[in-house]
Amino acid sequence: MRGSFVYMGIVMNITDPIGSMKGVGPKTAALFAKLNIYTVEDLIRFYPRTYLSYGEPVYVREAEVGERVAIRASIQSYVDIKKIRNLRLVTCMAKDASGSVKLLWYNCPFLKQVFHIGQTFIFVGDLSIRNHQFVMEHPEYYTEQQYATLIASMQPVYPLTEGLSNKVVTKLIKAAMEQIDQLEDKVPECVIERYQLMALKDAVTGTHFPTNAEQLLECRNRLVFDEFFWFLVQMHYMREHTMKAENQNRITDWSAVDDYIAKLPFTLTKGQQDALQDIRSDMSGTTVMNRLVQGDVGSGKTAVAMMAILACVKNGYQAAFMAPTEVLAMQHYESVQKDLGEFGVRVALLCGSTRLAEKRKIYEALAAGEIDVIVGTHALIQDKVMYHNLALVITDEQHRFGVRQREKLSRKGQEPHVLIMSATPIPRTLAIIMYGDLDISIMKDMPATRKPIKNCVVGPKYRPTAYKFMLEQIEKGHQIYIICPMVEASENMSAENVIEYQENIREYFPDKVRIAYLHGKMTPDEKNMIMSTFAEGKIDILVSTTVIEVGINNPNATVIMIENAEKFGLAQLHQLRGRVGRGADQSYCIMLCGTERKEALDRLSILNASNDGFYIANEDLKLRGPGDFFGVRQSGDMLFHLGDIYNNADMLKTANDAIAYLEQTHYPFEQLAMPEEMTHVQL
């Protein structure tokens, strides 16, 4: 049913383009497009990233340093404006009954007209101490009257893009919410009743504009249920499909793999051997392989992939190896060349940034069967790519291989074996739900030559000592990663941060130490260049944002220092840490904690105590309650917007139960109309 609504004289449909809303011109619409928001409904479904609460103002001296606080202070000095490079630094002093605080903004010269000596405002922001002085950087400011309406409320904070302010987005969402009655609930009635789900409209409203944390939790739970439910509906289709798929590409000759194993400079772990055995019986069996190989960072998943590829090629078929980033794809491409070249395997690299002429050549060679293995990013399964006889698709550190991708390939007459490699530590009970369509091989053991990583959690004062330690490691011929603090607000700022950090640390190191940096704003070519130079050992210290998080392998790197470790999720920290300890040498992970808050330190101490991804995920879970969604997300690599399989494990189980119920009652699944916005959960 498609209703319509008369709004200020304009008939507005929930399906109307966002450009038809009052106050949204082509420019704003283009910005929203960057956020994948095209219609009024998309806007309604655009949920806050977090919420800001506005508490009672506290005294400066009693406020928690390092926290977001509200203070009521009167202006003590004229507003001062200094020009530093291209920045205009705006400062002013204010004080309350307990003490004074320096207020500081960038590029807001108009504040000179706002603040006058003697006036009182409520300032809200992060309080810090610099040079023995309280400082608030870029605080929000309110008059008493304005603040009275904010206090005790929860204000939504939306994930933004440059050029769109939270204020504007909030206002537009409020306007769009007028059409909420048109929002259709596509979850079957019987499921809603059986699990007593809250009405969708109420859930959406309460998620945008909650009145309190408890209500918010309830509303979000309904939306989280929906995400899981639609994901599992797709899983249902997938199970139906793959159970039927016959193996048309039998891989029976595994003799080359035996040669490969004999030539390896190490012996396979038990986990690697078992995974290989599973893959071998799948690929030679009667139905198509659909397997997840799960192994902690550094457990040696790549070697397993290599063996599957080799067997596939030696039996006369093509293989595709997909990675989530170009940098990782590049690394895998080099490994395939190095490891499998001597077996006569012809390999090519295909990424988004590959030159057009080169791409065309690759397409042709692939279709003609002149390339055996293609390594790359998602570009590999685009419509343009035609294969000669693709029999194996491997995705590394990747989410999953969805129904759509499968469909795409089978439409081209391919029904390849699928192998998914993941380091996400996920408890068995959840794995069975999340990967219900896959067989699972778990690699529990690490290569025997590995020494466990030595960890420490330290404060900022330790930095110079850390640099000294790094220098010693560099003099032994090793290499270092430094992960810079994240800047949530913008990619540009993160990039600047990395550059500045890298300049600042030069004074701690002799000139001969080669320092380079890496961030997400660099072009794929630049990133690849830096990563290969680093892999060749020609860079000693690599200062980077988290772009290096996924899968990068340089066994010669022995130290990783993570700035602002408290801002990362434990799973993410564990992945980052996994960049070292990949060779035979003792490796070290230095977690620099920017706060002394007990919870932060407790959380990090979990990592400090263990190098085991499963243990870490479980312990982290114990530390958080089910409503703890304001913190760092645990499983950032799962494709849910709101749901988190760890924190919302109960909802995942409920949704799974609902699917089982529908299956039992022979519900006609084909009648389910998946909401468009839910398709994101599948790659």
CB 683 within 8 A of CB 401: yes
Q: Which of 268, 486, 515, 522 touches ligand ADP (CB under 6 A)?
A: 268
Q: How far is the CB of 302 from Mg ion (least distance, A)?
A: 5
Beta 515-518 vs 541-544: how paired, if at all?
Answer: parallel
Q: Which of 450, 477, 464 is nearest to 509 (CA)?
A: 464
Q: Which of 13, 100, 247, 553 touches ligand ADP (CB under 6 A)?
A: 553
Q: How far is the CB of 552 from Mg ion (least distance, A)?
A: 8
Q: Which of 119, 133, 449, 504 touches ligand ADP (CB under 6 A)?
A: 449
Q: How far is the CB of 386 from ligand ADP (least distance, A)?
A: 30
Stretch that binds ligand ADP, among 55-63, 293-301, 353-361, 483-491 (CB under 6 A): 293-301
For residue 202, give the H/E element and its range. Answer: helix 200-208
CB 368 within 8 A of CB 388: yes
d(CA 683, CA 475): 45
Beta 417-422 vs 290-295: how paired, if at all?
Answer: parallel
Whose CB is nearest to ligand ADP? Answer: 300
Q: Which of 50, 49, 69 is nearest to 60 (CA)?
A: 69
Q: How far is the CB of 549 from Mg ion (least distance, A)?
A: 11
Q: How far is the CB of 444 from ligand ADP (least distance, A)?
A: 12
CB 371 within 8 A of CB 362: yes
Q: How far is the CB of 267 from ligand ADP (least distance, A)?
A: 6
For residue 319, give the H/E element and its range. Answer: strand 318-322
Q: How far is the CB of 10 from Mg ion (least distance, A)?
A: 53
Q: How far is the CB of 554 from ligand ADP (least distance, A)?
A: 8
**Can residue 298 be called a binding residue for ligand ADP (CB under 6 A)?**
yes
Q: How far is the CB of 446 from ligand ADP (least distance, A)?
A: 8
Beta bridge partners of 647: none
Q: Which of 179, 302, 611, 682 touches ligand ADP (CB under 6 A)?
A: 302
Binding site partner of 48, from Mg ion, ligand ADP, none, Cβ cut-off 5-8 A by kind: none
Cβ-based nearer residue to ligand ADP, 242 or 302: 302
Cβ-based nearer residue to ligand ADP, 236 or 582: 582
Q: Which of 208, 236, 301, 478 touches ligand ADP (CB under 6 A)?
A: 301
Interacting positions 378-437 with ligand ADP (CB under 6 A): 423
**Can residue 324 be called a binding residue for ligand ADP (CB under 6 A)?**
no
Q: Which residues contact 549 (CB under 8 A, 6 or more apart)?
A: 572, 575, 576, 579
3 state SS of 72: strand
CB-side neighbour CA atoms (13 Å) of 511 = 0
CA–CA distance from 46 to each of 286, 288, 461, 631 (Å)?
45, 38, 41, 19
DSSP 109: G
**Can residue 266 be called a binding residue for ligand ADP (CB under 6 A)?**
yes
Q: Which stretches of the chain bind Mg ion, using CB under 5 A?
A: 551
Cβ-based nearer residue to ligand ADP, 204 or 293: 293
**What backbone phi and psi angles, to 5 degrees, belong to 599?**
-60, -40
**Per-residue interface string for the shown chain with ligand ADP, residues 532-551, x marking contact by CB under 6 A:** -------------------x
CB 186 within 8 A of CB 1: no
CB 376 within 8 A of CB 324: no
Interacting positions 596-615 with ligand ADP (CB under 6 A): none
d(CA 473, CA 480): 8
Q: Which of 660, 501, 641, 671 is nearest to 204 (CA)?
A: 641
Binding site partner of 182, from ligand ADP, Mg ion, none, Cβ cut-off 5-8 A by kind: none
Q: Under the rule (CB under 6 A), what is the footprint of ligand ADP? A: 266, 268-269, 272, 295, 297-303, 423, 447, 449, 551, 553, 555, 582
